[in-house]
Structure 1
Amino acid sequence: MEALNLTTSDPSTFILNGIPGLEAAYIWISIPFFMFYIISLLGNFTVLFVVGKELTLHKPMFLLLCMLALTDIGQSTCIVPKALSIFWFRSNGITVNGCFIQIFFLNVLGATHSAVLVIMAFDRYVAICIPLRYATILTNARIAKLGLVGFIGAVLLILPEPLLLQRLPFCANRVIPHTYCEYIAVVKISCGETTVNRMYSLVILLVIIGSDLILIGLSYGLIIKAVLRISSKKANRKTLNTCTPHICVMVMACTTGLFSSLTNRFGQGIAAHVHILLANLYILVPPMFNPIIYGVKIKELRDKVRTYICRM
């Protein structure tokens, strides 16, 4: 009742309604949320620490892993603390500006994450298809510049979203049925004309995910073509193994992200609590598994992590 009263009396505040219908299970739901977040932080900070400390790992591939780790930490930190405050303390209020800021950073980090995956695919293409030129094409400085371009591009693409939201009127209903400020969820509670907001969001989704999937697919298509030319089965297997962690991470990120975005726009038949849980898992699960996948599959990183663990 407090939440409903606040929506009419405080125009500067939205109410995040958590997961409608599952309020009685909040404590149990918070347990995996908290565990996934802690595992994600431990794994990604471990990657950042080990790569930062070891000069032998100051290579383009590991610089990309650090970029991926930073976006993973940022995305999960954007939503988990607020979600836990809803589950544990029923702290549902969020200021309008705070909501728009959360949308901006969450989507910028998501778009940057996607850009880093494209650069990783290009890195694997150069390493496998033109290995003799790898050191000259992909230097640390060039990788850093590509990452910066990806980040700036994400900011320019996402910046209109909160600006478009600011022009929308929000009337009596200020309850967002979600654990965080998802762009379309906020658009849906507006009492104004939202066609421009919906169209821009869909265009951005198709531009970011569509173009990135095409570039990733092109890179791996060329990689597979090069691998098939190798006559040795052992060399074939070794070459493909270097791509396995990247493929796993890309498939997990792209499929969950695309599914979550499309179901929110077109999945009217999907129960609200199912969509909200899937939207949270899309942000929580990949950051938890990414450092595990790379730590297991990349021998250099695995050995260095094991060395630091043994020293403890």
Structure 2
Amino acid sequence: MELRHLRYFCAVAEQGTFSKASRILHVSQSAISEQIADLEREMGGPLLDRQPRQTRLTPHGALFLVEARKTLLAAERAIDVTRRSMHGQIGTLAIGFFLWGAGDFFSRIIRDYRELHPDVRLSLFEMHANVQMDALISGKIDVGFTRPLEPPFDRLLCAELLYRDPIVVALPRSHPLAGKTIPVAALAEERFVMLEREQNPTIFDSILALCSGAGFSPEIAHRSLGWPSILTLVESGEGIALVPSGVRYLATSGLVFSELEPQDTHVGISIAWNPERESPIVQQFLDLVRENKDQIQTRRNI
């Protein structure tokens, strides 16, 4: 039994004659008659009561018509769902992000995407950049707002740089340097609160190089596993911290963020994905981010 058997049967049942069904289906009357005869042989009995002027359903045919219509509707829905999936109109999209790197643009992108693709189910996961790499490989997330790729992930994943976030100085509001543009050398006598190197070797090494270029080695008073705890220590007066400017989104009113001079140390923020899992949905999300890339860069003051 094939779907055409069901379509032919339903057409005859609904039109009442083979000739009318033939005109609607654009199929010869003899072909329709032959296919329905095959269907009846497979079913083991008549489904239609053939009369000279009118074809009526047998009791068994009436039952079969109900189920045949359900089957045809299910087949049409399966085709529709598959086509919409192929065009990225339905499905799921899992996105990884970390708060200080997302900033205000992230929420705007998510809102715009939901409005454009209401039938795509979004799942958002807050996770560190290094965790995102494994999640992209395993398929737990489809897209990640993360740091630029480093070995070995630069050979396995794809990424595009969105912006470069400048390194700034986090200070207690009462600090004498608060509110000023600060030369790096002016921090030589300060105690530093720093992120553990294992959390982000690039930032850690960049800060050491920045200080070294200004002629001093920083006195590291505390090390921490995350930016929120670093900001808490700074606000408590335990030292100052060099942080990406996006970290200000995590701060309280007790902190001030001052620009460095020269301002030539940045942290890259990228969007990354796994090319082996690049579905139409992923492609459409990437296209939306690219369309907004100029606005993202402008708002981040590159």
TM-score after normalising by structure 2: 0.26
TM-score after normalising by structure 1: 0.25
Task: Give the number of the structure whose residues are more often helix, by fraction.
Answer: 1
Task: Give the number of the structure whose residues are more often strand, by fraction.
Answer: 2
